Structure 1
């Protein structure tokens, strides 16, 4: 169970953080937001991408969409999503539970600037029923992430 690798990561690097485990699935942004009582944007989704020969993880706000032009500019060429089987093999986490913590192998992590819209974001924690509450800057520090701008601008909130 990959939540254990995340638990070990936090024990070593951030023992003050608690993994929140729920009975219901939090495998999608909508399910996670509803289960945790937060806005969909606060769910920090981790996307597994191939940029040329490299595999990278991009953590972005849950309601953000990737911008192909910005991706090409940031990573120097065409970027595509990895298939689910490859994601699980490379990260050690199932799709719906992918996070930048406790990875099966070291991968470069990038945090999209869209995360900075919130004081607290909630990435998954290695399973489809877990998450952690964390400040975006701390998430970036813990994972050695670089900040990038690879998402479309957020739509303005309805008044």
Structure 2
């Protein structure tokens, strides 16, 4: 296990999360690649996407089958503008690289929204703080460990 994965695993244990971190030989840069590696549906991949919401970090944990509807989220969250964050902003806010951002383990709490569509999957796979690692969890556990709120994040 890498030191990054060990630290992430320790954070999961501190939060009482049940899943074990799985490390891959190569990067899993997309939801489709992760789903293929894990033999699961793309919709069961929980992408941790960082945006800016009126300048503040916003973490959206979206189903891999969805594209985030930022305008809909602006209305739902009562913010003026949501934009995709730069890689530098992502790393500063999360302490993790783009493509490997996990739902927890950030230097400071980040406002978090969890895609309701993930509830349709008994097991969802989320990033584990590195481009080579993921962990199994559930929709309810994601809400609990992130302190996030459930929302529709995709265009319907």
With structure 2 as the length reference, what TM-score do the two structures score? Answer: 0.90
Q: How far apart are residue 4 of structure 1 and its match?
A: 3.5
Specify the alignment match of 2:5 in structure 1. 3
Q: Distance in 2 between matches of 1:55 and 1:20?
A: 27
Separation of aligned partners in 1, 2:52 and 2:128: 22
- The answer to whether the 8 Å contact 1:41/1:62 transfers is yes
**Cα deviation 1:41-72 (Å, max 9, x = unaligned):** 11100110111132110101001011233122
Q: Which runs of 5+ in 1 are unaligned?
A: 154-159
Q: Distance in 1 between matches of 2:121 and 2:131?
A: 22
2:149 to 123, 146, 150: 146
Aligned twin of 2:113: 110
Q: Per the alignment, do residues 78 and 16 of structure 1 end up closer, same or farther by CA in structure 2, a change over 3 Å counting?
A: closer
2-structure distance, mates of 1:3, 1:52: 32
2:145 is paired with a residue of what secondary structure?
Answer: helix
For the aligned residue pairs, the C-alpha RMSD in angstroms reads 1.5
Once the 2 structures are TM-superposed, how far is the Cα of residue 148 of structure 1 from its aligned partner? 1.6
Moved more, 144-153 or 53-62: 144-153
Normalization by structure 1: what TM-score? 0.89
- Show structure 2 runs of 5+ residues with no match: none
1:8–1:102 CA contact under 8 A, matched in 2: no
> Which deviates further from its counterpart, 125-134 or 141-150?
141-150
Please give the residue correspondences for 1:52-71 in structure 2 after superposition, counting only pairs within 5 Å: 52-71=54-73
Aligned residues: 153
The reply on whether 1:45 has 2:52 as its aligned counterpart is no
**Cα deviation, residue 144, structure 1:** 0.8
